[in-house]
Amino acid sequence: MTLTIGNAAPDFELANQHGEKVSLQSFKGKKNVVVLFYPFAFSGICTGELCALRDDLASFHNENVELLAISCDPMYAQRAFAEAEGYKFPVLTDFWPHGQASKAYGVFDDARGCAVRGTFVIDKAGILRWQVINGLGDARNLVDYKAALAAL
């Protein structure tokens, strides 16, 4: 499934690393949202990407923008990952129903049981404004996210 720029982004409600429910809908009318799917907690490229976001967090998690990082790892793995790396943004679990949000965004890899690297910028009205999907071994470029956010 491929999402279309200019259409409503699929809503989801997932638990964060603390077990609290977070929905995309809850940010509608309040914040733009960067939804970032990643394959596995504690893996090399994923850790590098999320640490780069952590180190430049003000650009992606502020009064106008919410960053939501999502993988199919269980909540306790997400919590350990976030605590070990010092992530101060929501790290959501798409564990059960397994990959439901990843599938809705067209980034679930059935053969591996994980999300590929998909990033989606959603405006305050809930409309998809930008997306990029990379393979499992292809790291993303934060400069691209910043440009997409600046265009909103």
From 46, 51, 72, 114, active-site residue: 46
Residue 81 lies in a domain: yes
In a domain, 116, yes or no: yes
39 domain residue, yes or no? yes
What is the chain's percent helix, strand, coil content, to nearest 5? 30, 25, 45
Full pLDDT tens readout for the chain, 152 residues: 679 999 999 999 999 999 999 999 999 999 999 999 999 999 989 999 999 999 999 999 999 999 999 999 999 999 999 999 999 999 999 999 999 999 999 999 999 999 999 999 999 999 999 999 998 888 888 888 889 999 98
CB 12 within 8 A of CB 26: no
Is residue 14 in a domain? no
Q: 């439901």: which residue's tokens?
A: 100
Residue 9: inside a domain, yes or no? Answer: no
Give the domain extent around 51: 28-150
The amino acid that residue 6 corresponds to is: G
Domain count along the chain: 1
The domain that contains 39 carries what CATH number? 3.40.30.10
Q: Give catalytic status of residue 51 as yes or no.
A: no
Whether residue 18 lies inside any domain: the answer is no
Distance CA 105, CA 108 (A): 8
